[in-house]
Structure 1
Amino acid sequence: MTMTQPDLSVFTTLESEVRSYCRGWPTVFDRAQGSYLYDEDGHRYLDFFAGAGSLNYGHNNPVLKRALLDYLERDGITHGLDMSTTAKRAFLETFRDVVLRPRGLDYKVMFPGPTGTNAVEAALKLARKVKGRESIVSFTNAFHGMSLGALAVTGNAFKRAGAGIPLVHGTPMPFDDYLDGRTPDFIWFERLLQDSGSGLNKPAAVIVETVQGEGGINVARAEWLRGLADLCARHDMLLIVDDIQMGCGRTGPFFSFEEAGIVPDIVTVSKSLSGYGLPFSLTLFKPELDIWEPGEHNGTFRGNNPAFVTASAALDAYWTDGQMEKQTLSRGEQTEAALRQITAEHAGAGYRGRGLVWGLTFDDPARATDICRRAFELGLLLETSGPQSEVVKLLPALTVSPEEMDEGLLVLARAVRETA
C-alpha cells in the first residue's frame, strides 16, 4: 500500500499525549462499512480490531443503522436518564425474550453509566453493599476498567500507576494456569480463606473474566470456572463475571460463561451491547441482590435511548435463531487453523483463544508490536495485548465473511514472515 503522509498536526498539537491507538495507526480515518475502514485518502483497511470488541456486527451495520435512523427521524427520545421510554421498554422486552429466558437466567437489569467501567463500579458497589464487606478478589493480568474501583481489581501495573493514589480493598489471586499447572486450582486462595492468620479479609465477591482480553488472551478452562463458582458458593462470596469484551457473542454463546455451565451472581455487559458502537452497559444480578435504594447509584447518561434501539435491532437480527453462535465458532475454527500453520512455521510462536478472540504469542515480546505495525502498512488493523504488549490480538467482527477472514489471516502470515 502506497502511503502519503497525512496531516496529523491538529491531533499532535492540540490533543493530549494520552492518545494511544492513533499512534499505531498513523492515518486519518473517514468512513467505515462492515469489516473495512477507509482513510481520507481512500486507502482501505481490513479491521481485525472491531472497536476493541464494540463492533461485533461490523461498522455501520445496515440493519442497525436503519433502525437508528428511523428512530431519530421520528424525534424519538435520545436522552432519558432512567425515565421509562418506549425504546427502553422495547429493549428490556427483547433482552428478556431473546437472551435471558432462553438461557433460564433470572436477572434484574440495572442501567449504570454507559461504559464498561461504570458497569464494573456498580457491580463492586452492590457486592459490598449486599455482603457488608470491603474486599474483592480479582486475578493476575485482569483488566476491568480505568476508574478507581475498577483499577483496584486490575492487574496491569502501568494502568494501576496512573491512579496516583493507593488502590485498596482488592486482592489478586492466580488466574487459570498462571503457575503453569504446577499446583492444584485454588489451593492458595482456599488456604487463605480457611486460615484466620492469613491476613485476607473475607471477600464480598470475586470478579473474573472468562477470557482475559487486555491481559493477553488468557483463556480460563470450563472446569476452572466451575471450580471458582463452587469455591464462591462454599465461602459465601458473590461471583462477578466481567463479560464486557467477551460477552455479546465474542466467544460463541451470547455470554462467555455459558460453556462452563455456571450462573454468576452478577454479570457486567457493555461494548457490543448496542451493536453500533454507541455507549451502553448493563449490570445484571440475581433478584435477591436488588437491595438498592432509589437513586443510590445513578448517572446522567445511563438512559442512552439510541443505544436501546440498536441493541434491540441487533438481538432481533442475530440472536433469535442460533446462527450467530454457529457462525462465530466456524470462523474461530478457520482462524485457529491459520494460526496453527503460522506457529508451525515460526519457532517460539504460539496461539490461544476461543470463538473469535485469538492471540498470537512469541518468545520475543517485541515481535507483536512489529507485526502489528507491518500489518497496518499492509492494510490490516491489529492491536497488541498483554502486560508487555507481547500478544498479537485478533478481534474481527462476528459478521466477518470467510473470504475476509482469509484475507486478514494471509496478511497476518505475511507480516509475521516479514518481521522475523
Structure 2
Amino acid sequence: MTLTQPDLSVFTTLESEVRSYCRSWPTVFNRAQGSRMYDEDGHEYLDFFAGAGSLNYGHNNPVLKRTLLDYLEHDGVTHGLDMSTTAKRAFLEYFQNTVLRPRDLPYKVMFPGPTGTNAVEAALKLARKVKGRESIVSFTNAFHGMSLGSLAVTGNTFKRAGAGIPLVHGTPMPFDNYLDGQTPDFIWFERLLEDQGSGLNRPAAVIVETVQGEGGINVARAEWLQALARLCRQHDMLLIVDDIQMGCGRTGAFFSFEEAGITPDVVTLSKSISGYGLPMSLCLFKPELDVWEPGEHNGTFRGNNPAFVTATAALNTYWSDDTLERQTLAHAQTIEAALHDTAAHHSGSAYRGRGMAWGLELADPRHAGRASRRAFELGLLVETSGAHDEVLKLLPPLTITTDDLDEGLRTVQRAVYETA
C-alpha cells in the first residue's frame, strides 16, 4: 500500500500529547464498515483491533444501525440519567431472558457511568461497603482502568505512575503461571491469608480477568479460576470478574468465566455490551449484595439510551441461539493454527489465547512493535500489549468473514517475517 502523508497538523498542535493509538496508525479515518476501516484518502484497512474489543459485531453493524436510526428518527429519549425509559426496559428484559436466565445467573443490574473503569470503580466500592474492609487483591499484569481505584488494582508500572499519588488498598498476587508452574497455585496467597503475622489486611474482594488482554493475553486455566473461587468462599472475600474486554462473546460464550463453571459475586461489563461502540457499562452482582442507598453511586451519563437500543438489538440478533459462539470457536481454531505456524518459524516465540483473543509473543520484545507498524503499511490494524508491548494482540470482530480472517492472518505472518 502506498501511503500519502496525511494532514495531521490540527491533531499534533491542538490535541494533548496523551494521544496514543493515532501515533501507531498515522492516518485520518473517515469511514468504517464490518471488519474494515477507510481513511480520507481511500486506503482500506482490515481491522484486527475492533475498538479494543468494543466492536465485537463489527463497525456500523447494519442491523444495529437500522435499529438505532429508527429510534432516533422517532425522537427516542437520548438522555435520561437513571429514569425509567422504554429503551432501558427493553434492554433489561432481553438481558434477563437472553443472557441471565439461560445461565441461571441471579444478578441484579447496575448502570454506573458509561466506561469500563466506571464499572470497576462501582464494583470495588460495593465490595468495600458490603464487607466493611478496604483491601482488594488483584493480579500481576492486570489492567482494570485508568481512574484511581482501578489503577490501584492495575499492574502496569507506566500506567500506575500517571496517578501522581500513592495507590493504596490494593495487593497484587501472582496470576496463573506467573511463576512458570514452579509454585503450587495460591500457596503464597493462602499463607498470607492464614498467617496473622503476614501484614495482609483482610481483603474485601479479589478482582480478576480470566484472560488478561492489556497484560499480554495471559489465559487463566479453568482449574485455576475454580480454585480462586473456592479460596474466596473459604476466606469470605467477594470474587469480581472483570469481563470488560473478554465478555460479550469474545472468548466464545457470552461470559468468559462460563467455561470454568464458576459464578462470580460481581461482574463488570462494558466495551461490546452496547454492540455498536456506544459508551455503556454494567456492574452485575448477586441480589444479597445490593446494599446501595438510592443515589449513593450515581453519574450523569449512567443511562445511555441509544446504547440500550443497540445492545438490545445485539442480544436479539446474536444471542438468541449459539450460532455466533460456534462461529467464534471455529475461527479460534483458524487463528491458533496460523499462530502455531508463525511461532514455529520464529525461535523463542509463543502464542496463547481463547476464542478470538490471541497474542503472539516474540523473542525480541521490540519485534511486536515493528510487526504492528509493518502490518499498518500492509493495510492491517493490529495492536501490541504486555508490560513491554512484546505481544502482538489479535482482536478481530467476532462477525468477521472467513476470507477476511484468512487475509488478516496472512498479513500478520508477513509483517512478522518482514520485521524479524
Letter in structure 1 aligned against 2:387: P
The CA RMSD measured in Å over matched residues stands at: 0.3
Per-residue CA shift, 1:178-223, capped at 9, x if unaligned? 0000010000000000000000000000000000000000000000
Task: Show the counterpart of 2:15.
Answer: 15
Q: For structure 1, which segment, 336-345 or 43-52, has the greater mean C-alpha deviation from structure 2 after superposition? A: 336-345
Match of 2:197 in 1: 197
Report the count of equivalent residues.
Answer: 420
Name the counterpart of 1:394.
394
1:266-306 C-alpha deviation (Å, 9 max, x unpaired): 00000000000000000000000000000000000001000
Report the alpha carbon displacement of residue 349 of structure 1 after superposing the two structures with TM: 1.5
The question of 1:334 aligning with 2:314 is answered: no
Q: 1:308 and 1:77 mapped to 2: Cα distance? A: 11
Question: 1:61 is matched by which residue type in structure 2?
Answer: N
- Map 1:173-322 to 2 at 5 A: 173-322=173-322
- The corresponding residue for 1:105 is 105
Which SS does the other structure have where 2:124 is aligned? helix
Residue 161 of structure 1 and its aligned partner are, at CA, apart by 0.2
Structure 2 SS opposite 1:384? strand
The DSSP-based 3-state class of the residue aligned with 2:57 is: coil
1:41-85 C-alpha deviation (Å, 9 max, x unpaired) = 000000000000000000000000000000000000000000000
Give deviations 1:16-49, integer Å, cap 9, x for gaps.
Answer: 0000000000000010000000000000000000
Report what 1:343 is aligned to.
343
| 2:172 aligned counterpart, secondary structure | strand
Alpha-carbon deviations, 1:117-148, whole Å to 9, x = none?
A: 00000000000000000000000000000000
Q: Letter of the aligned partner of 1:132 in structure 2?
A: G
In structure 1, distance between residues paired with 2:284 and 2:218: 24
Please state whether the residue corresponding to 1:393 is helix, strand or coil: strand
SS at match of 1:268: strand
How much has 1:362 moved relative to structure 2? 1.0
2:97 aligned counterpart, secondary structure: helix
Q: Residue 415 of structure 2 aligns with which residue?
A: 415
Residue 116 of structure 1: how far off its partner (Å):
0.2
Partner-residue secondary structure (3-state), 1:278 = coil
Tell me which residue corresponds to 2:121: 121
Secondary structure at the counterpart of residue 32 of structure 2: strand
Distance (Å, rounded) in 1 between the aligned partners of 2:240 and 2:310: 26
SS of the equivalent of 2:399 reads coil
Q: CA deviation at 1:347?
A: 1.2
Matched AA of 1:155: G
Structure 1 segments (4+ residues) deviating >6 Å? none
SS across alignment from 1:348: coil
For the residue of structure 2 that corresponds to 1:133, the secondary structure is coil
What is the match of residue 165 of structure 1? Answer: 165
Q: 2: CA distance between counterparts of 1:413 and 1:292?
A: 51
- Secondary structure of the residue aligned to 1:409 is helix
Give the equivalent residue in structure 1 for 2:360.
Answer: 360
Distance 1:16 1:298 in 2: 29
Letter in 2 for 1:373: R
Aligned equivalents of 2:413, 2:145: Cα separation in 1: 32
Amino acid corresponding to residue 342 of structure 1 in structure 2: T
Per the alignment, residue 382 of structure 2 pairs with 382
Cα distance, 1:348 vs structure 2: 1.6
Aligned mates of 1:283, 1:413 — CA distance in 2: 38
Gaps of 5+ in 1: none
For residue 232 of structure 1, report the CA deviation from its aligned partner.
0.1
**TM-score (norm: length of structure 2):** 1.00
Aligned partner of residue 154 in structure 1, secondary structure: coil
Specify the code of the residue in structure 2 equivalent to 1:88.
K
SS of 1:7's equivalent in the other structure is coil
Deviations 1:230-273 (A, max 9, x none): 00000000000000000000000000000000000000000000
1:352 counterpart SS class: strand
1:6-85 alignment runs, 5 A limit: 6-85=6-85
Q: Percent identity?
A: 80
Q: What amino acid sits opposite 2:126 in the alignment? A: L
Deviation digits for residues 285-328 of structure 1 (CA, Å, limit 9, x no counterpart): 00000000000000000010000000000000000011111010
Tell me, in whole angstroms, the C-alpha distance in 2 between the residues paired with 1:98 and 1:408.
Answer: 32
Distance 1:386 1:2 in 2: 30
Q: Which runs of 5+ in 2 are unaligned?
A: none
What's the TM-score once normalised by structure 1's chain length?
A: 1.00
Instruction: Provide the C-alpha distance between the structure 1 equivalents of 2:344 and 2:189, rounded to a whole number of angstroms.
Output: 37
Q: For residue 380 of structure 2, what is the amino acid of its counterpart?
A: L
Aligned to 1:183, the other structure's residue is in SS state coil
The alpha-carbon deviation at position 350 of structure 1 amounts to 1.1
Q: 2-side partners of 1:255 and 1:414: how far apart? A: 33
CA distance in 1, matches of 2:219, 2:303: 33
Indicate yes or no: 2:139 matched with 1:139.
yes
**In structure 1, how many angstroms separate the alpha carbons of the residues matched to 2:303 and 2:412?**
40
